[in-house]
Amino acid sequence: MSATAKIRNPLRKLAIGTAQFGLDYGIANRNGKVGGAAVAEILADAQAAGINTLDTAVDYGDSETALGQANIDGWQVISKLPAVPAAAADPANWMRQQVEASLQRLGIGQLAGLLLHRPGQLLDSGGAAIYRGLEKIRTGGLAERIGISVYTPDELDAVWRKFDEFDLVQAPLNILDRRLLSSGWLERLHSQGVEVHTRSVFLQGLLLMQRQQRPAQFARWDALWQQWDAWLTDNRADALQACIAYPLSLPAVSKVIVGIDSPAQLQQILAAVAAEPAGAIPALQCDDPELLNPALWASA
C-alpha cells in the first residue's frame, strides 16, 4: 500500500459521489439527504483541496438540482441515464432530451461524461439504437465522453463483445470486491485507453462499521469481518484510511468516487488520503454478489 504515498497528488484521483445530495442513501447514513448549505460547503472545501470531479445521475433524486443550485462552474460532471423506456419510439431523441434536462438542472453546458445506468439494455433488441444515441450525444457536444456503469465484470464481458468504443467505465472496487482486478478487466480497460472510475469504496459504509454496528443480515460473512477487524487492530489502522488507500494505489484507476454526507466526513477523507498507509491490506477478496451488490441487500 505504500504506492499511495507516491502519487503526486492523490486528491486529484478523488471524485465526489452525490447520491446523498438527492436521496437518503447508504446503509450507514444516519443524517438523511444532505442539505443545500452543506452541499455548498462540501463542494467549496473539495474544490479547494484539488478535487474537480462530481458523479451524479438522473436517478439520484434531486441531486442534479442541488448541484445546480450550488453553482458547479469549473467542475467535471459525470452523470448517468436511467433505463430507456421500451415505449420510446426514438431512443436517441429520448436520451438527448434527458441529457438536455440534466444540463439545465446542473446549470452547465456540457457533461464531462455520460454513462448508461442500465447497460444491459445494449444487449436487447434495441441496443444498437441506444448505442447510436450515446454516440450522437458525444458528437453533438452534449457530453465529452460516453460509457457504462456496471455492477460486475460479467456485464463487461457481454457488452464488450458488441460495443467497445466507450471512453469511460464505472465499476465497484474495494478491499472486499476485487473482481475488476481478478477478472483482468481493470488492466484491459486501461490498456485500451478507457478511463476507469471506481465506486463503493466503503461498501456504503459497511466497511467502516464497528463489529457491534453491523446489521445482523451480514453475520453470514463473519469470517471476513473477523479478518478485517483483526487486521485493523493488529496494525492500529483506521478503516477509512485503509479503504481509500487501496483503490488510490492502483495506477489503472483514474478516479475513486467517494460518497459524502457531511462537511465533517469530507475532512475525514481528506485527512485519510494525506495519512501514511498502515501496511499491506490483507487478502480479503469476496466474490459473493449478495454481499458486494447493495441492490441485493435485504432491508437492514
Boundaries of every domain in the chain = 2-290
C-alpha cell at 123: 444487449
- Is pLDDT of 300 > 80? no
* 5: confidence class by pLDDT, cuts 50, 70, 90: very low
Helix (H, G, I), strand (E, B) or coil at 258: strand
* 4: confidence class by pLDDT, cuts 50, 70, 90: very low
Provide the pLDDT for residue 276.
Answer: 78
Residue type at position 159? V
Nearest-5° Cα angle at 152, 269 to 4: 30
pLDDT in tens, 62-113: 999 999 999 999 999 999 999 999 999 999 999 999 999 999 999 999 999 9
CB 278 within 8 A of CB 237: yes
DSSP string for 53-122:
EEE--TTSTTHHHHHHHH--TT-EEEEEE-PPPTT-S-HHHHHHHHHHHHHHHHT-S-BSEEEES-GGGG
Provide the pLDDT for residue 8.
Answer: 61
Provide the pLDDT for residue 24.
Answer: 66
Residue type at position 60? Y
Averaged pLDDT, 123-139? 96
Query: What residues does 169 pair with on adjacent strands?
Result: 148, 196
Q: Which residues contact 57 (CB under 8 A, 6 or more apart)?
A: 19, 63, 79, 80, 82, 117
CATH number for 2-290: choose from 3.40.190.10, 3.40.430.10, 3.20.20.100, 3.40.50.1820.
Answer: 3.20.20.100
Gap between the Cα atoms of 235 and 59, Å rounded: 40
Q: Can you give 18-55 as a three-state secondary structure string?
A: CHHHHCCCCCCCCCCCCCHHHHHHHHHHHHHHCCCEEE
Provide the pLDDT for residue 31.
Answer: 59
Q: What pTM did the predictor assign? A: 0.92
Element of type H or E holding 246: helix 239-248
CA-CA-CA-CA dihedral for 68, 257, 79, 266, to nearest 10: -10
Q: What is the mean pLDDT of the chain?
A: 91
